[in-house]
Structure 1
Amino acid sequence: MTRFLAFACAILCVALSVPAGAQTVPESAPAEGGRLVIVGGGLSLDNADVYHAFIDNRLAGSPGIAIIAAASASPSGSGATFAGELMFYGVAAEDVAIVQLAMLDDPDTPDVDESEWTGGATDPDQIATIENAGAIWFTGGDQMRLRQLLIAEDGTDTPMLAAIRTRLEVGAVVGGSSAGAAVMSDPMIAGGDPFGGLFGEVLAAAPSQSGESGSLVLDRGLGFFSPGLVDQHFAQRGRFGRLARAIMAQPATSRMGLGIDEDTALLVDRGDRAAWVVGRGTVTVLDGRRATVSATGFADIRLSRLHGGDMLNLSTLAVTPASGREPVTARPSVFGGLWPSVRLADPLESETRQLFTSEQRRAATARFEVNLAEDKRGAIFVFAADARTRYWRSAEEEGWNGTLSGVRLSLTTGAPQPYRH
């Protein structure tokens, strides 16, 4: 394991230099409640803001960082890689520990037999690593592995998961990327194709059902993030429809979801119920608490889009734009600000699936319709702006990028509909 850490650190330190952080986020962890750093996957090593959001929020007096790479098919290798990244950002090697927890052995690491790590969730030595950590990180992979390893068969917390919750409550930071982000909520999105997941029943996951094929799959998550569901690789994989359908499968008061882009994080202060966007992409917020459901879809989810430095109130879902982003009042410009969110559907187009977009504008309202058609099934998303829609942008932001709130989102599924010009 020492060889893995040294190799990863050496490669990373030679490859890049650390850029100065550019985004303003809180500087110290709260005394109680802990913080979360939820990353949408695809984290670049030169994204200093996200790494510092995790490293700098360690619990005071507890510099240790515990890495849980059990979601990965290469647990020791993935753990060593992230350990090297932490050391690249100045974390001392003696403060980093890879937790021995895994479901299977990686044949590419012959000097480490990860199959011996399957009992790590009850191993006193591994639990002690968690108990001494000021920060805990979950790598990417398959979130169902984390669920199976950390939640006992009777549905109770394993001793390791109980220890993680205790550390979080006393002020530690818990972070994760990709699968490590998905598992933050409870329930969690365990799988489902972004288009296929719009149709059919919502499934309770079995281990063989996780992944990217077929129906939307929900299962129990770890529940560190309580306000709603989390989805990742959001814009890059066209998952906004999947997230919308997932939140609408919840009780009305719990219909909230966050879609986090790659190379982007949400820094959550659980005590203050506030969150800040960190990184290069966006966080899309879906609020379905007042939406309506029908046999063919849903209507009036409220959508917001946040960029780096923006703050989200997790109780009210009110958006506070970062300093430098000024309100845009001209309605044509506000309507233009919808386009980056409308374009979230673009990754769903394929050789077998057609996508058409139309736009209708009035003096005070605008309607953007995205029509997706494949074989004998289709989906229509409608993005609508009205008097409640708000848009902020800075002079440096290009195109229609900017912070947006109060967009109405609706979905209708069924037979493919003809394209209407």
Structure 2
Amino acid sequence: MLKSLCFALALAGASASAAVTAEGFGGTAAEAPPKGSLVIIGGGLRAENAAVWQKIVDLAGGKGARIAVFPTAAQNPAFEGSKAAENLNRHGARAFVVPLAPKLAGSDARKAAEDPAIAEAVRGAGGAFFTGGDQARITGSLRRPDGGNSAVLDALWSMYRRGGVIAGTSAGAAIMSSTMFYDPPLDVIPVLKHGVVDGKDIAPGLGFIGEDVFIDQHLLVRGRFARMLPVMLAKGYKLGLGIDENTAAVVGPTREVTVVGYTGALVLDLTDAGSDRAKPLFNLSNARVSYLDNGDRFNLVDRSYTPGPGKEPVDTRLREHREALFYTDILGNTSIVNLLEKLVDSKLERATGLAFEGPASRAPERGFEFTFTRVPDSREYVTNREDAWSIYRIRMDVRPVRMQQPLYTVE
């Protein structure tokens, strides 16, 4: 009943279009790059974040745009799907919920992914929105057991290539790159200590952003920039894009990224970075980390940065004097951005942060030192009130360190 009701509404407004089979970003040699856009949200998207919701609707065609809501990842898909559709409709869309979710009662997700009516409704829409949850449910539903595309996944690619928008939050963001976190440890440090295993910690995503950019979410509040690094090295990614909660990275057809939302995003650039493979523990040298604030832009093709409105270069004459900058928990909530802001607003050239686990962890004495250094190609911008910063191309080095145990004793 739910399925028939959803798609009676969906098909009433969906326009027919020719089916296009997509095998990945860029597809076959005969296919042009997608004309559509991506809205990649780092999770925790609030109903009152009008800028992000409106951007999705605008990119889908504006008022009256048909947007297919996929609650595929959700534990409670009926609730999550209806809330997302409600938020989109509040901003002018005519969203419909796609009944394609492993946790949806009375629905077979794999069967729904091959349903011609569902595929046609998605193909004729102006956009799609993936809710949060477990990203493995999305890829497990939209990909066939042999790894091929389902009919609905082909329809998504067709819509995206034609000029539609694909948006996703949390799990819906993770699927955007060709590799995604699948079932990693909850904490970041174990990924640095022990690396990642294909098919367990990481698995193939849907690759809407292409083969060259790795995506992660919930980034600043959970210190996840660090867990991106072993994956990027293992899979050969030179660029990583990590988006924080209640924030979106909007990727246009020219591959320019614009940050919209509450906080910002990090760009990790390993183009000139190296790692000493002879050493058994994770290490990294000469990487670049950049913080993009609301309104900032970054071009994935030429790697150029453009600060948002109201930003001016930091006045070097006004930089503060500090004895040193040293954080004992660089993976804490927004710690990396706080440290970078203090670094570029000081006369110091270098700042240091540590990352360790607690005494009950596996190998508690092993940790990592992160060093951040201003280099000639670094750039820093700030608003006049000094409440919004843009920080580009700070050098980052990571090396393993050992802490004496016990760390402390009670007096």
Instruction: Sort the Cα spacing of 1:284 and 1:205 in 2 relative to 1 into closer, same or farther, 3 A.
Output: same
* 1:133 maps to which of 125, 130, 133: 125
**Unpaired runs of 5+ in structure 2?**
7-32, 358-363
Partner-residue secondary structure (3-state), 1:290: coil
After superposition, residues 250-261 of structure 1 pair within 5 angstroms as 250-251=235-236, 254-261=237-244
Residue 364 of structure 1, CA deviation: 7.6
CA contact (8 A) 1:392 1:402 kept: yes
2:188 to 166, 186, 194: 194
Change beyond 3 A, Cα 1:53–1:393: same
The partner residue of 1:33 within 28, 35, 38 is 35
Confirm or deny that 1:204 pairs with 2:198. Answer: yes
From 145, 158, 165, the counterpart of 2:157: 165
Q: Secondary structure at the match of 1:67?
A: strand
Look up the match of 1:175: 167
Give the secondary structure class of the aligned counterpart of 1:122. coil
- TM-superposed CA distance for 1:155, in Å, is 1.5
Provide closer, same or farther for how the CA distance between residues 360 and 101 of structure 1 changes in structure 2, counting only shifts above 3 A: closer
In the alignment, what sits opposite 2:221? 236
List runs of 5+ in structure 1 lacking aligned partners: 6-30, 106-112, 207-216, 350-355
Q: 1:50 aligns with which of 41, 47, 52?
A: 52
Counterpart Cα distance in 1 of 2:321 and 2:301? 27
Q: Give the TM-score normalised by structure 2.
A: 0.80
Taking the aligned partners of 1:340 and 1:310, their CA distance within structure 2 comes to 27
Residue 310 of structure 1 is matched in structure 2 by: 296
Q: Partner of 1:377 in structure 2?
A: 366
User: Which residue type is aligned with residue 148 of structure 1?
Assistant: G
Match of residue 410 from structure 1: 397
Identity percentage over the alignment?
30
* 1:288 alignment partner AA: L
Post-superposition offset of 1:416: 2.8
Task: State the one-letter code of the partner of 1:258.
Answer: L
Shift of 1:344: 5.2
Distance 1:171 1:339 in 2: 47
Once the two structures are superposed, residues 391-411 of structure 1 have per-residue CA deviations (whole angstroms, 9 ceiling, x without a partner) of 00111342xx40011101111
Going from structure 1 to structure 2, the CA distance change for 1:395 and 1:348 (only over 3 Å counts) comes to: closer
In structure 1, how many angstroms separate the alpha carbons of the residues matched to 2:328 and 2:239? 19
Q: Any conservation in 2 of the 1:62–1:133 contact (CA below 8 Å)?
A: no
Aligned to 1:393: 382
Please tell me whether residue 292 in structure 1 is matched to residue 279 in structure 2. no
* Distance change >3 Å, CA 384–CA 38, structure 1 → 2: same
Tell me the SS of whatever aligns to 1:236: helix
SS at match of 1:345: coil
Partner of 1:101: 100
The question of 1:223 aligning with 2:225 is answered no
- 1:330 equivalent to 2:316? Answer yes
Distance in 2 (CA, whole Å) between partners of 1:331 and 1:256 is 33
Distance 2:321 2:305 in 1: 18
Using the alignment, how far apart are the partners of 1:377 and 1:125 within structure 2?
A: 54
Question: What is the identity, as a one-letter code, of the residue corresponding to 2:266?
Answer: T
TM-score with structure 1 length normalisation? 0.78
Distance 1:360 1:77, change over 3 A: closer
- State the Cα distance separating 1:40 from its structure 2 match: 0.5
Cα-Cα RMSD:
3.2
Shift of 1:152: 1.4
Q: Which residue of 2 aligns with 1:80?
A: 82
Instruction: Report the equivalent of 1:11.
Output: none
In the alignment, the residues of structure 2 paired with residue 278 and residue 114 of structure 1 have an alpha-carbon distance, to the nearest angstrom, of 37
Contact kept, 8 Å, 2:221 with 2:334, in 1: the verdict is no
Offset from partner CA, 1:91-122 (integer Å, 9 cap, x none): 3xxx22111111134xxxxxxx2444441110
* Alpha-carbon distance in structure 1 between the residues aligned to 2:404 and 2:383: 39
CA 1:342–1:138: 2 relative to 1, 3 Å: farther
| Cα deviation, residue 198, structure 1 | 0.7
Superposed displacement of residue 365, structure 1: 5.8
